[in-house]
């Protein structure tokens, strides 16, 4: 389902480009609906800690001694 939302959003964006960067009223409603669904899905991932996070920043001994001083 999520991939379908993303594909539909991309199709609408392509139509938007082809139509001189304007949506018809129906296209705008559909785009807003899909965008809201996408945002809810992303929020779900963040709320449930399902987002990949980078490794913690490594500190060198020089930086650690400066912080201790």
For the chain, the three-class secondary structure string (H helix, E strand, C coil) is CHHHHHHHHHHHHHHHHHCCCCCCHHHHHHHHHHHHHHHHHHHHHHHCCCCCCCCCCCCCHHHHHHHHC
Of the ranges 12-16, 37-41, 54-58, 64-68, which one carries the lowest mean pLDDT score? 64-68
Single out the residue of 48, 43, 37 nearest to residue 2, CA to CA. Answer: 37
Pair 9, 31: CB distance under 8 Å: yes
- pLDDT class of 9 with cuts at 50, 70, 90: very high
Summarised one tens digit per residue, pLDDT across range 13-49 is 999 999 999 999 999 999 999 999 999 999 999 999 9
Q: What is the pLDDT of residue 53?
A: 79
Q: Where are the domains of the chain?
A: 2-47
pTM, full prediction: 0.69
């Amino acid at each position: 389902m999520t991939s379908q939302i993303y594909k539909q959003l991309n199709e609408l964006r392509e139509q938007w480009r082809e139509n001189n960067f304007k949506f018809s009223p129906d296209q705008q409603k559909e785009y807003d609906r899909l965008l809201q669904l996408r945002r809810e899905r992303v929020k779900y991932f963040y709320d449930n800690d399902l987002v990949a996070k980078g490794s913690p920043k490594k500190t060198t001994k020089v930086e650690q001694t400066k912080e201790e001083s």
